[in-house]
Structures are given as C-alpha cells and as structure tokens.
Structure 1
Amino acid sequence: MHLHGLDLLHRPDLPALIARWQREVTPAELRAGYEAVLAAADAAACGRWLLDLRRREDLTEPTVNAWFGAVFAPSLRGRYPEAVRLAFLVSPLRAGQAVTAIVSAADTDCEIATFTDEAAAHAWLAREG
C-alpha cells in the first residue's frame, strides 16, 4: 500500500509492519502516515514496526514529534498483547538527530530504538520479550 509518501508492508514472517517513507513529507502528511501505519498495524494485529526514515531529510519535525510523544505513542498503550516495539531506521548521516520526542515508558507500552542497519533493526524487532 502506498499513501502519504510511504509504502506499507506487513511481513508476518519477520514479524513486522514495515513503513518506508519514500520522500520528504509535510507535517500533515507525516501525521497521516503514522495514522496509516496504525491502521495497518491494527488490521494485522502487529505491534512491531520498522519505520524507515532513510529518505527523509528532516527527522525532527517539532510539531509532529510533540504530537507523537504526547498523543500517538500513549495511544498505543495496551493496544496489542505485547508492548509495541518501534525500530526507527535512519541514514548514518542523520544518526545523530533525535528521531522522536522523549516518550516516557510510564505513559506508553512502547519500546523504541534507532538503527542505521536494517538487519539489526529486524533482529531487535524479532527478539522475544
């Protein structure tokens, strides 16, 4: 599926939902993209997501990061049988940028990690516990 500047693919064999942003997007498109990821994850009952940001230049859009930390991530609490695991895949050139707002473990059931290597991201998503 391709919408909001991203491609979505559910891979039950990994297991993961893969969201790849294919271009720069506006803040509205980015929020809509996260909502599309959530809808696809709900349909697949998949709480492990690979969010590929390598083609995006700006990883720190402030209004979206604030919304992500205050609204979106907390809405994931208890949504799936296990904690949601979000692997952000970034270009090594942008690895120093903060990808998301600080998300409190007390407010969400999310585990969040940033990777520059896709195989490492998939290994982290697939691990038990």
Structure 2
Amino acid sequence: MAFQTEYSFELPKGYIDESGNLHKKGVMRLATAADEILPMRDPRVQQNPGYLTVILLARVIVKLGDLRAVDTKTIEKLFTADLAYLQDLYGRINQMENPSYPAVCPQCGCKHEVPIDFLIEE
C-alpha cells in the first residue's frame, strides 16, 4: 500500500474566477515542515496571525479546477464555507495518528487495538 500524499476534494460552494467560471474540484497535498514554518516570517502573518491560514492553504492546494495556480489572492476570494471546509480538510489530512497498542479483552478474549491519547489528562 502506497503512502498517500495528495487528497482530492470538492468545495461546497466553489471558487468563481474573474471570468465567472466556477471551480469546485481540487487537490490538496500533505503539508511539510517548511509549509508550517516559512509563513511565520511573512509580514502579513506578523501583522495578522489569521492570515497564516491563507498562506498555508495557498501552499498546499496543488490544483483547483482549471486554474493554472492557486495563490493567496485565490484563497482570499473563497467563500467562507469553502475556507472552513479547506481548513478542516487540512487539519484532518495533516493530523498525526495516535499510536495504539494491541490488547486482549479479559472477558471475551478478543484481540483489538487500544488508542493511546497523550493529551488526555487523568
């Protein structure tokens, strides 16, 4: 099984370009460390931390409809529903999977994986 680095998506509303064409289908790639770190130096992020999302999405969306490229201006013009959708997708595909360990139920003897969540306080 190959490691998946790109994920197809379809925007709920869609991006309308300058010619009035609607673009809904796209592809987002996994983020790299540089995608997360380099935008922090951008003056737009330093002035407005909320702009980080715009830059991140512009870096990781590799295709949107028939557009030649996706840049920050494209992301700025998205409908809020589409921006929220892409933020959620970014979070889901880049989230680290929680480790798990094999366990056996003491009552029925069934084998299963038990997730370990280090963020839960007890």
Give the number of the structure whose residues are more often strand, by fraction.
2
Instruction: Check whether TM > 0.5.
Output: no
Higher relative contact order (CA 8 A, sep 6+): 1
Larger radius of gyration: 2
Shorter-normalised TM-score: what interval? under 0.3
Normalising by structure 2, what TM-score? 0.25
